[in-house]
Structure 1
Amino acid sequence: MTTSQPTPAQLGYRMPAEWAPHQATWLSWPHNEESWPGKLHIVLPIYARMVAALARSETVHINVNDEAMEEEACRLLHSVGAEGDIHFHHFPTNDAWCRDHGAIFVVRDGDDPLAAIRWEYNAWGGKYPPFDLDRQIPRRMAEALGAPCFDGGMVLEGGSIDVNGEGLLLTTEACLLNPNRNPHLTREQIEQRLCDYLGVSTVLWLGDGIVGDDTDGHVDDLTRFVAPDTVVTAVESDPSDENYDALQENLRRLRRMTDHRGGALRIVALPMPPAIVYEGRRLPASYANFYIANRVVLLPTFNHPNDDRAAAILAELFPTREIVGIDCTDMVWGLGAWHCLTQQVPAV
C-alpha cells in the first residue's frame, strides 16, 4: 500500500459532504434492458422527471452512448418540461449507476482545486459483465472537467461510502470486506486507502445491508450523514420483517460511535417502506437512497404512508431545500434509486 507519489490527502484534498455546494450532478442515461427487464420503457420517463428536478437545482451532465441516445433523452426531457443547464457527453456506458462507476471528486484550496478519484470497478463483485465501458467513465469525467485524476488502487463503489466532510466516513463490512472486492487487502489497509485518497481520518463500520441489495450492502440504503454530527438511519419497526435484525444491529453500532469531536452521533430514525416484491424477488427499497442537491433533495417514494413520514423527516433536516418525492416502485426493479444514479461534482 506504499507509494512514491504523494496521496491526495497529503496534497490537501478531501471529499466534501454531499450537502456542500455542487457545481453539477453527473448521470449516466439508462439503456440496459437487463437492468430493468420488461420495464425500461416505464423507467425512462421516471428518470427524466428526476433530471428535470435536478436541472432546477444545478448543472446536470449526462453520459450517453451516441447521438441517437442523446436525441431520445432530449425528447423525454422535453416531454417532462426539463429546463436548465443540461450537458450531454458521448461517453458510452454499460449501465446507468453513475454513483458506483463514476469518479468520486475531492477538493482543496489552491491550484487544481478539484480532482477525481478513479477507483477500480468490477460491477459489484463481477456480477454483471461486461463493465469495460463503465470502467472508463471516471477518467472521461475528469478530462471533461479539466481535473487531475488519481487511481484509488482498490475496488470501491460510491454507494458503499458516505462522508460528513469533516473526517468521518461510513461504510459496511458486508460490502468493503467482501472477498469479491479486495481479497488481498486487510480491513486496516482498506481504511488507510480511504484516508489517503478521500481525506478522511476515521472509518465507521456498519454490518449488513438490506435484503435484495445486490451490491452486498451499500451504506446508501442504510445510513446517511445529514450534518457533521448527525445521521439518518433506516429502521424497520416490524420484528417479523427480514430486515429487522440487520437494521437493529446497525442501530446498535451507531449508538456506540462518536463524531469528529468525540461526542455521540445524533441519530434520526428513518422508516422503511413496505416490502416491494416483483416476480418473487424482494427489492432493495429504502428511503435512505435519497440524493442531496443544491436546492432539492430527491426522495424515492413507494406509494405508501411512510413516504410522507420520510419526507417530513428530511424536510426538517434540510429546511432550505425542497423535498422532491418521485415514485420508485418501478425504478427499484433495477435494484437502485436516486442516490445510486447520481454523482455530485463539488463546487470549488
Structure 2
Amino acid sequence: MAKLIPPAEWAHHKAVWIGFPSHAELWLDDIEPARAEVVAFASAVHADGAGEKVILVAADADAADAASKLAPFADVLLEPFGDIWLRDTGPIMVSKTEARLFGFNGWGGKYDLPGDDTIGERLAKSRRIEAEACDWILEGGAIDGDGTGLVVTTEQCLLNYNRNPGLGRDDIVQRLKQDLGFSQVIWLGNGLLNDHTDGHVDNIARFVAPGRLAIPEGAENDPNWRVYQLAAERVRFSGADVELVRVPSPGRILRDEEIVPASYMNFYIGNASVVVPIYGAPDDEAAVAAFAEIFPTRNVVGLRADHILTGGGSFHCISQQIPG
C-alpha cells in the first residue's frame, strides 16, 4: 500500500488551527497588538465564511475569553500550550482523518515550555483524528511538500546535532519516506539569519504548485541575500524536476537595532485567501503582487505581522491546516 503523503497546503481545508497569544509573561507589551494581528489573519482566512473554519487555540480561560470577544467568527479551543507555534508543535496531517505526531524538544532545547510537547496529541484528539507517534524530532516548519512526494528542507535544521544527534542524512531521508511518504528530498543549506528555529525552510522556500518552488531574491544589502542565492543553486543542482520562482524579500528588518528573521515566505495558503506577512518594508506591495500572480484564483492579502514576529515567527508558523 502506498504511503500517505501530507496534502499540499493549497489542497482543500476543512479547518485550520491558529495559535492565540496567551501568556503575557512571554509577549509582554506585544501581547495585545500580536492578538490583533492574529485575529486579522484569522479573519482573512475565514473570509466571511467563504474560506475555512478557524479554530483559535488558547492556552487558558482568560485568553479563550479574549479570543471569543475579538473573533466571534471563530471557534475557540482551550488547550494549554507553551506558545502559539502550532506549525511546529501540532500534528502533521497526512489525510482528512490521519496524522503523524513527532517529538518536540523546544527547537533544540532553546525554549522548554510546558504543554508544547503534548499539544499535537491533544489537538488530534479534539478532532477525533487518528494520530501515529513517530520516534524522532521534527517540526512542521522544517519541511514543505508539494503533495506529490517531493519535499524541501534545510541541513541547518534537520541535520542539527540538537535535534536527532544519532541520525545522519540517510537516516533522516529514510524516516521522511517511512513516516510521511515522501519520495524525494531537496536539501537546502542554511535558513535566515537569527532564526531561532535553526533555519526552518518555511522562511526561505515554499512550494506554490506541484514541482514549483518559490525562493526570495534579495539585494546585496539584504542580510539573507546569499542564503537565498545558495538555496536556489541547491535546487538547480538537486536533480529534482522543479521550476524556480523568485519573489521579493523584505530585506533588512530591525527591531531594537537587531536584525530579525522577517520573511514574506511565511505566508499561509487558505481555501479562499493567501495571507502574506508584511513589515512596512519597501517591497511589501511588490511581494503581495508577486503572490497574486502565483495564486490567481485566491485573494492575496498582505497583513502586518510585526508583533507576531517578536515571538519569532509569522502566519505560517502559528497555523496548522486540517484537510477537508
Q: TM-score range by the shorter chain?
A: over 0.9
SS of the residue corresponding to residue 310 of structure 2 reads: helix
Q: Which of 191, 194, 198 in structure 1 is aligned with 2:176?
A: 194
**Residue aligning to 1:291:** 268
Report the CA distance between 1:35 and its aligned residue.
Answer: 4.4
SS of the residue corresponding to residue 38 of structure 1 reads: helix
**Residue aligning to 2:225:** 244
Q: Which of 98, 101, 119 in structure 1 is aligned with 2:89?
A: 101
**How many pairs does the alignment contain?**
321
- Counterpart residue identity of residue 121, structure 1: F
Q: Distance in 1 between matches of 2:25 and 2:222?
A: 29
Q: Distance in 1 between matches of 2:26 and 2:229?
A: 30
Q: Which of 34, 41, 50 in structure 2 is aligned with 1:43?
A: 34
Q: Distance in 1 between matches of 2:252 and 2:288?
A: 18
TM-score, normalising length: structure 1 = 0.88
Q: Distance in 2 between matches of 1:341 and 1:330?
A: 13
**Residue aligning to 2:99:** 116
Worse-matched range after superposition: 160-169 or 241-250: 241-250
Does structure 2 retain, via aligned residues, the 8 Å contact 1:273–1:285?
yes
For each residue in 1:238-283, what CA deviation from the matched residue of structure 2 results, as whole angstroms up to 9, or x when unmatched? 2x43312222111111112344xxx3x2111111113111123211
- Counterpart residue identity of residue 42, structure 1: P
Q: Distance in 2 between matches of 1:329 and 1:183?
A: 34
Does structure 2 retain, via aligned residues, the 8 Å contact 1:207–1:249?
yes
> For the aligned residues, what is the CA RMSD?
1.5
Does structure 2 retain, via aligned residues, the 8 Å contact 1:117–1:138?
no
**Residue aligning to 2:9:** 18
Worse-matched range after superposition: 54-63 or 155-164: 54-63
**Residue aligning to 2:152:** 170
2:123 corresponds to 1:141:
yes
- Counterpart residue identity of residue 94, structure 1: G
Does structure 1 retain, via aligned residues, the 8 Å contact 2:250–2:283?
yes
2:202 corresponds to 1:220:
yes
Q: Distance in 1 between matches of 2:305 and 2:126?
A: 31
Does structure 1 retain, via aligned residues, the 8 Å contact 2:143–2:152?
yes
Q: Any unmatched runs of 5+ in structure 1? A: 1-9, 108-112
Q: Which of 142, 150, 158 in structure 2 is aligned with 1:160?
A: 142
2:39 corresponds to 1:64:
no
**Residue aligning to 2:255:** 278
- Pair 1:232–1:168, CA change in 2 (3 A): same
Does structure 1 retain, via aligned residues, the 8 Å contact 2:8–2:146?
yes
Q: Which of 49, 52, 57 in structure 1 is aligned with 2:43?
A: 52
Q: Which of 90, 113, 119 in structure 1 is aligned with 2:78?
A: 90
Report the CA distance between 1:187 and its aligned residue.
Answer: 0.9
Q: Distance in 1 between matches of 2:54 and 2:2?
A: 28
Q: Any unmatched runs of 5+ in structure 2? A: none
Report the CA distance between 1:286 and its aligned residue.
Answer: 0.6
Does structure 1 retain, via aligned residues, the 8 Å contact 2:89–2:119?
yes
Report the CA distance between 1:34 and its aligned residue.
Answer: 5.1
Report the CA distance between 1:33 and its aligned residue.
Answer: 3.6
- Counterpart residue identity of residue 198, structure 1: L
Q: Distance in 2 between matches of 1:41 and 1:248?
A: 37
- Counterpart residue identity of residue 256, structure 1: F
Report the CA distance between 1:290 and its aligned residue.
Answer: 0.4
Q: Which of 181, 184, 189 in structure 1 is aligned with 2:163?
A: 181
- Counterpart residue identity of residue 73, structure 1: A
